[in-house]
Structure 1
Amino acid sequence: MSAVLAQALHLFEEYVDLPAPERERRLAALAARDPSLHAALSALLACDEADAGVLDRSPAQIVAERQPRADESAEDDENEPDRRIGGLLGAWRIERILGRGGMGTVYEARRDDGQFQQRVAIKCIRTGLESPELAAAFREERNLLARLDHSGIAGVVDGGIDADGRPWFALRRVEGEPIDAWCERRRLGLDARADLLLQACDALAYAHAQGVLHRDIKPSNLLVTADGRVQLLDFGISTRFNGPADGDAGAHLAITPDYAAPEARQHGTQGPATDLYMLGVLSYRLLCGHWPSRLHSLRELVPIAAAGEPEPMDRLIGDDDDALARQRGFDTPDALRRALAGDLAAVALKAVAARPQDRYPSIAEFARDLRAWRQHRPVGVRRGGWRERARKWRRRNPAAGAMFAALAVVVLAGAGAIVWQHQRVQREVRASQGVARLFAATLGSATQSGLGSAPFSSRALLERTERELRAMPLDEQPGLRARSLATLARSYAVLGDYRRAETLAEEAQRALGAEDDRDGFVAVTRLSLLNTQARYAEAMRLARERLDELDGRDDELARTSQVTVGAELARAQWYLARPRDALATADGLVAQARALGRGHEELLA
């Protein structure tokens, strides 16, 4: 049995025999002092009045059954009259209730002094819960919010004291809906949900940098506006890092239990790690739709639930979670499990570790790993193997993978062209297939090891490939030999060895001999290397020579080559401080690429 329930049962015998007026007075005082204990005791008293057989059921069952549903609370709030509505607080005319919390009421108000028009949200102490401690808490919240100036935090606009001496303050009005409702209504995928969490991290990290804790991170305190911006609200029980810890012995019980960290629930301990824990629980709810442990939401009612350790998100997804998976853009629960497993599950699990010292050191560190997952980069909390790192590298650099594939296609296309030549068909086919196998094996190994991130291994692969290429009998296939050497030149350039790359590119040009570089592969390789080495004048001269050679040809290869060579010309013009020439060249290239028609979208891009 939890301490709250035990204390409620102890007070039940005292309160149940009190006269109704005395009981209501003492309950109101208890609500201001200890909201959780007040809720548990009120549930027991209500069951006794209804003759519901209190002794026949467990305290946990009674309290659980008597918890008001959100829709019931909202309906009661709408029907309950409030004397503040229609009145003035400072320059503001109160129009309606926006919401009620455990200790405060938030109203919508408009400026009514004739100076200018503005709408705000005004927060006041909830009627019937007035106390010096609560008034001090409101003043502290107002002072803390006044220190925060961040686009993701609803800041203070005005404040004052009402006619009864109670503090109030006006906040920037935020039109939005809770972050979980926003995600569910739009059926957002994991990436979009993670982006919203990163916005929340930025706002909370800023507050921590100012020495301010929030202490009540939950969906209703993170609203998303129509343009997708997250706004952090309600620092109602916030505090400074080094503020008075014992000013209110029961203050920590006002937090939301389902999101509160174990040390905050049990001992009232607060710090950046407790805010991080709540953000971690929110991450579980948004990403996998479950609590961090299977008994998480029952731990206030069932004592054994507190012993449940958090589990990785993918393990919480059951085979019956079809609707939850579809809500996140997946066809099956298994597909959602695979998307959550690995880095994302590890990042969220570290944020909700039971011990504060096992969590991330800060919100910023949590955000850094979450952002790394979004960018397909390794996360700090989990180091994957080389295969996983290579897969992430390919996802981050799709253009590089496309370049490798394009090089292999060029070699294979060369082999296909040679097949049709008379008197050397068989030899050329065997030579082309040998080169294709050689490069496919090399590029495959280099891709798996992360070309460029392991330079010694990658260079060894290229050197071995070059030796094997030179051993092949390609003297009768000058075009294939030239393309192969140009492919090696581009690979050396990826490693940053431009001298070797340029030597191979020049050798490729010589290898062509009298054969025409019809698709411009060798010429573009040389141009790209010159531009990469800032030899722009040479690149511009060579590009013009190549374009002159192509002038008059009207076949598709020539038109394609004109675009690729022209792109290098524009690049050289730009870096030679001739931007108008470069832009004019680029405009002409766009028109030429569009004229090529369907199948050339990548070239146009």
Structure 2
Amino acid sequence: MTMTPERWRTVKALFDGALDQPSDSRDQWLAEATAGDDPLRREVESLLEALREERDRFERPPVLSLEDVIRGEIAGAAAPEVGTRVGSYRLIRVIGQGGMGTVFEATRDDDQYRKRVAIKTIARGRDSELILRRFRYERQILARLDHKNIAGLLDGGVTDRGQPYFAMEYVEGRPIDQYCDARRLDVRARLQLFRQVAAAVQYAHQNLVIHRDLKPSNILVTDDGTVKLLDFGIAKLLREDDGSDGQGLTQPGMIPLTTAYASPEQVRGEAVTTGTDIFSLGLVLYKLLAGQHPFAHDLAAGDIVRRRICEDTPPPPSAVVTADTASVAEPSGLKRLRRTLSGDLDAIVLMALRKEQARRYASVEQFGEDILRYLAGLPVVAQPDSLGYRLGKLVRRNRAAAMAAAVAIVALAAGLLSTAWQARLARQERDRAQLEAAKATRVTRFVQEMLGSADPRSAGRDVTVAEALGLAVQRADTELAAEPDIHAAVLSTIGRTYLALGRYDEAEPALRRALALEREAEARNPNAVTSELRTLAALEAERGEIAKAEPLFQEALGRARRPPVDSALLGQVLDGYGALMLDKGEFAQAEEIHREALDLRRALLGTDHADVVNSLNNLAVALGQQAKWREALPRHLEAVTILKRLHPEGHPDLAAAMNSLANAYTIVGDYAAADTLFPQVLAQRVKFFGEHHSEVAWTHYSYADLLRLKGDYPAAVSEARAVLASRGAGLPDSHPMVHSALHVLGRSYLALGRAREAEPVLRESLTLRASAYPPGHWLTASAQSALGECLLALGKYRDAEPLLVKAHEDLKTGRGETDRRTVETAALLKRLYIATGRPAEAARYR
């Protein structure tokens, strides 16, 4: 049976759903879910089978490497022939061969479309029960992983001869070490590339998958600098509710690994954890920075390399780097490269390569964050956190502001007085990292159990995510009362999920309680307080409660700037605070904040990163609000271009950037370009969020405003009503989209000659804006102008005059004398004074 990508997505969704069912009712659930589609049910069952094997009950045997396996009896099996068809694909050439199968380059060879893919299949003679189970297991793992830096699964099926196969994304790239050398990348560029690798591995870990075979040949880089992680052939899936962790897929005497990039625990045949991948990543980073492998640099035999991995302490990269490496990584020469590597980078690499898993980084995320800290010139976890060390960092970031002699004296005094204190701080940092990792694991397990326990059959109807979250709050209050750290993290997770769903009233109590719990434990983790403040501030901003959001953001920003700075968290706070300043109408301040966020994120993350694009887009909006279109439009276009490259199939971030670009086109008067974009954005946002979500409301409103400006008033009325249809369902009255939609609806009624219908609508819009914004805000002034125009049309001159006068004053102050809204209000005042026989006053407005 050959499956289309759509069919495979159905299989994947059913597989994940089946795993969430109790084991004793899983088969019944699957039978009902597949509704008589036997081939679909069998396909899902084949994936579940790989997770039902019993754990290995034998003593762990001497280890065989993957190279040993390939040289053995499996290696002699015949493979499918180049030129033949596998399903809908024609095999072009062999591009790789591993312990389970052969990988071919292929093209889709039917009438639907042509596409290059990588086909993996089991060669004839290899289809033992063990290999077939391992092959299905690999397919199941790939089906769980959907990340831009992981080669994706496209299709799957069975050949005419009964051999399983699957089609993967074809990656045309070079191994990461070769790519870096060929491009002569400097140390900073290599570190930024490595952070893409770390992000992909962290994503796999979050999905409970350990790669276990990380090495340069499994990490390809395309010509545009995108990392692609390959080959989950020996990955381990860490699900505890399946009765298996994949261990049964390894026979006694056959524990597959690639010797040179194995961890000590793999070499010894011990249990692997996420720390296993951290060790392998440390080896990859060592190779990228030093140009050689710490244990296999002399092409030693496998048993020698294994002994070194388990027993030898690797030398620092700075001690082994050669002139050859310097020639491609550091134009200034070997001495400069050694200075660059010594200190922090040596410490980072060697921490990842510690023999004991517990003494490595607690997570790949922490590993990547330490690299980010280095790139920002901040203290790193891997370095003893001494006062002298921090002062050294301060001097390097602020050379012009520091006096070298004074710093040297202070550093010397600190070194004499604080040796024991340094050791204590190092232990505290290590312990804190381990506690954070354990806390994350505990939170993940609780949330998984909570969602898995929401059984629709027990309620006699569908259980929504929101209902499951409500049950989780009750359960957390009962079960986690004695664990405040975990309780706070679970409440935070629940609150953030409610926020993402647009359910603000449910989100607020969970987030406020999480913040209160984190404040009580602030000494243990002050950054947790900052993070909760930021999230709560974002909630208030989403509701349109600017006065409540601003002090929360200000406190969060003050905390985020305290040393040691968590640069990623600082970027998040700046991003949210800048967006609030945009809502408040403080455009110059918003520009300043977003420029800082963009500079910080570009330095840390490079160019092609979602956070960088978000800051780029927000800066463009701030510039556009100040009519700086020469700077704004190119940034809008750059943001959309990058996101299309990152997410060719669409993404909420891409939809947001396209919405901002369409708004920019509206403001500059390019209505045709805006009219092309808005329907595309609307379709994407409805697909991602559903009809009654604030993001969808933003686009309906923006499109309604464009249609009104174009003169298509009936269509503008329809779009404005679409926003108001979500009032109460997803939008509280305080949300900016409610008063904005009322504003557009009222002005469209007015343009259609329906002034009596427009008056109550515009009055409500003005009331909501006056309560949401500080006195004199330009949005309130705009609402005053619209209501004044309506009253003018109805002949209510006495009521219209004070509204229009105040609106003109505030618009001139807030938007400038040449702004469209200011000019329109001046024209309305002129009409009013002419209609009331006061030409002298009319002459004041031109």
Q: How far 1:364 moved relative to its partner?
A: 0.7
SS of equivalent residue, structure 1 residue 207:
helix
- Of 163, 188, 193 in structure 1, the residue corresponding to residue 190 of structure 2 is 193
Q: Is the 8 A contact 2:65 2:257 kept in 1?
A: no
2:258 aligned residue: 256
SS of equivalent residue, structure 2 residue 198:
helix
Query: Which structure dedicates a bigger proportion of its chain to helix?
Result: 2
Task: Classify 1:310/1:262 alpha carbon distance in 2 versus 1 (closer, same or farther; 3 Å).
Answer: same
- Of 316, 319, 327 in structure 1, the residue corresponding to residue 320 of structure 2 is 316
1:307 aligned residue: 311
1:500-548 CA deviation, whole Å, 9 max, x = no partner? Answer: xxxxxxxxxxxxxxxxxxxxxxxxxxxxxxxxxx9x9xxxxxxxxxxxx
2:364 aligned residue: 363
Equivalent residues in 2 for 1:283-294 (5 A)? 283-293=285-295
Task: Classify 1:383/1:112 alpha carbon distance in 2 versus 1 (closer, same or farther; 3 Å).
Answer: same
Q: How far 1:116 moved relative to its partner?
A: 1.6
Give aligned-pair identity as a percent. 35
Unmatched runs of 5 consecutive residues or more in structure 2? 1-63, 240-244, 412-557, 559-583, 587-625, 629-776, 779-810, 820-846
2:127 aligned residue: 130
Equivalent residues in 2 for 1:215-226 (5 A)? 215-226=212-223
1:349 aligned residue: 350
| Matched residue type, 2:168 | L
Q: How far 1:119 moved relative to its partner?
A: 1.5
| Matched residue type, 2:230 | L
| Matched residue type, 1:259 | Y
Q: Is the 8 A contact 2:78 2:123 kept in 1?
A: no
Distance in 2 between the 1:114 and 1:253 partners?
43
| Matched residue type, 1:263 | E
1:383 aligned residue: 384
Residues 1:86 and 2:50 aligned together: no
Q: How far 1:310 moved relative to its partner?
A: 2.3
SS of equivalent residue, structure 1 residue 267:
coil
TM-score relative to the length of structure 2: 0.39
Residues 1:274 and 2:268 aligned together: no
1:422-471 CA deviation, whole Å, 9 max, x = no partner? Answer: xxxxxxxxxxxxxxxxxx97x98699989xxxxxxxxxxxxxxxxxxxxx
Distance in 2 between the 1:170 and 1:373 partners?
39
Distance in 1 between the 2:259 and 2:144 partners?
27
1:247 aligned residue: 249
Equivalent residues in 2 for 1:425-436 (5 A)? none
1:106 aligned residue: 103
Task: Classify 1:294/1:106 alpha carbon distance in 2 versus 1 (closer, same or farther; 3 Å).
Answer: closer
Q: How far 1:173 moved relative to its partner?
A: 1.4
Distance in 2 between the 1:162 and 1:171 partners?
16
Q: How far 1:40 moved relative to its partner?
A: 7.1
1:149 aligned residue: 146
1:204-261 CA deviation, whole Å, 9 max, x = no partner? Answer: 0000000111111011111101110101111111120241324323586421100000
The structure that has the greater radius of gyration is: 1
Q: How far 1:125 moved relative to its partner?
A: 1.8
Q: Is the 8 A contact 2:176 2:221 kept in 1?
A: yes
Q: Is the 8 A contact 2:264 2:355 kept in 1?
A: yes
| Matched residue type, 1:183 | C
Distance in 1 between the 2:323 and 2:354 partners?
28
Distance in 1 between the 2:395 and 2:202 partners?
32
Task: Classify 1:581/1:209 alpha carbon distance in 2 versus 1 (closer, same or farther; 3 Å).
Answer: farther
1:159 aligned residue: 156
Q: How far 1:87 moved relative to its partner?
A: 1.6
Count of residues in Structure 1 that have an aligned counterpart in Structure 2: 360
Q: Is the 8 A contact 1:260 1:278 kept in 2?
A: yes
Distance in 1 between the 2:254 and 2:272 partners?
8
SS of equivalent residue, structure 1 residue 86:
coil
Q: Give the CA RMSD over aligned residues.
A: 4.1
Task: Classify 1:347/1:171 alpha carbon distance in 2 versus 1 (closer, same or farther; 3 Å).
Answer: same
2:578 aligned residue: none
Unmatched runs of 5 consecutive residues or more in structure 1? 1-32, 43-72, 405-439, 451-495, 497-533, 537-568, 584-605
Q: How far 1:284 moved relative to its partner?
A: 0.3
SS of equivalent residue, structure 1 residue 177:
strand
Task: Classify 1:295/1:246 alpha carbon distance in 2 versus 1 (closer, same or farther; 3 Å).
Answer: farther
1:304-346 CA deviation, whole Å, 9 max, x = no partner? Answer: 53421223222233xxx21122221144433222111111111
TM-score relative to the length of structure 1: 0.53
SS of equivalent residue, structure 1 residue 159:
strand
Q: Is the 8 A contact 2:79 2:123 kept in 1?
A: no
Task: Classify 1:254/1:81 alpha carbon distance in 2 versus 1 (closer, same or farther; 3 Å).
Answer: closer
Q: How far 1:282 moved relative to its partner?
A: 0.3
Q: Is the 8 A contact 1:94 1:109 kept in 2?
A: yes
Equivalent residues in 2 for 1:178-217 (5 A)? 178-217=175-214
- Of 137, 159, 169 in structure 1, the residue corresponding to residue 166 of structure 2 is 169
| Matched residue type, 1:231 | K
1:175-205 CA deviation, whole Å, 9 max, x = no partner? Answer: 1111011001111111111111100000000
